[in-house]
Chains A and B, each alone.
Chain A
């Protein structure tokens, strides 16, 4: 019985301490660094995917330089959109 009481008080103190720490730093540093690392690849990936789609469609329809150029720019637009969205999600 004595053991149980001791554990309860110790738990209470520990919980109080945890709450103090949680109040101090809102949103851990690691999480925000992860979000920062995330954005950079998002831009590049969309451009690459757009260009590949353009390249494949060009080969299919035989309109060699036209589609790859337009899809490259659409890939850039999609990349900016992606970055914009993940930046918005952070707030």
Chain B
């Protein structure tokens, strides 16, 4: 029995090692669970939109609910001008949500508990939003770093602070998701280990905690996907409408 709580985060190869110009792109368990999540999303959306009934089936209901949920979120936080970016934000939300939820199944692997995965997702958002801002506003996008009504003397300091705060966006976006997922899963494994080491006599208390933590983790899994998507909307709003 492996009681090491960090063992669940180990990445290992499945199948042969593939090298492309010296870069190792072998198929790992992380890639496997990303593929599983993507297939599940596609299956749900395919089932949900196959038969368009007046009284929806369960799959159709879930699909329609996720659609309205994301559409409402974009409309509330980024305005109607962000409607064009619905496909991207919907994909991002569903991918993070399904990766988190698939990770909740015992013996599975949580892709989002690795900072490289979340950092790449956050970088895509960050670079994309910056490009959108410059395309939409040109050089005027730099006004984002110059708040109105600041005395001229303080301007250099304020600009540096604003630039740091802008650059910290991908870091906070990725670290939040990664830290929440990793901490939660480690905690669950630690409590699971307590159950075994305390045995029949004292193991019931950590077992109860484990059950409660599982519920909490499912909430966190949903919440972090939601936060990830809503922050993307907020950053998009900054880029499209150019104010804080």
Contacts and interface: CB of A to CB of B under 8 A. Distances in A.
Contacts of A89: 234
Chain B contact residues: over half helix, strand or loop, or mixed? helix
Given A34-B230, A49-B167, A78 B172 contact: no
Contacts of B172: 41-42, 44-46, 82
Contact of B223 (A37, A41, A49, A53): A37
Contacts of A42: 168, 172
Contact of B168 (A34, A37, A49, A71): A49
B179 A30 contact: no
10 contacts: A35-B227, A37-B227, A41-B172, A41-B176, A46-B168, A46-B172, A48-B168, A49-B164, A78-B165, A81-B165
A56 B219 CA distance: 39
A38 interface: yes
Contact of A75 (B157, B164, B224): B164
Interface of B: 54-55, 157, 160-162, 164-165, 167-169, 171-172, 175-176, 179-180, 219, 222-224, 226-227, 230-231, 234, 244
Interface residues of A, number: 27
A85 B244 contact: yes
Contacts of A81: 161-162, 165
Interface of A: 7, 30-31, 33-35, 37-38, 41-42, 44-46, 48-50, 53, 71, 74-75, 77-79, 81-82, 85, 89
Contact of B219 (A30, A46, A50, A75): A30
Contact of B180 (A7, A37, A71): A37
B168 A82 contact: yes
Given A33-B223, A49-B171, A41 B179 contact: yes
Given A44-B175, A49-B168, A38 B161 contact: no
B176 A38 contact: yes
Nearest to B147: A81
Contact of A34 (B160, B167, B171, B227): B227
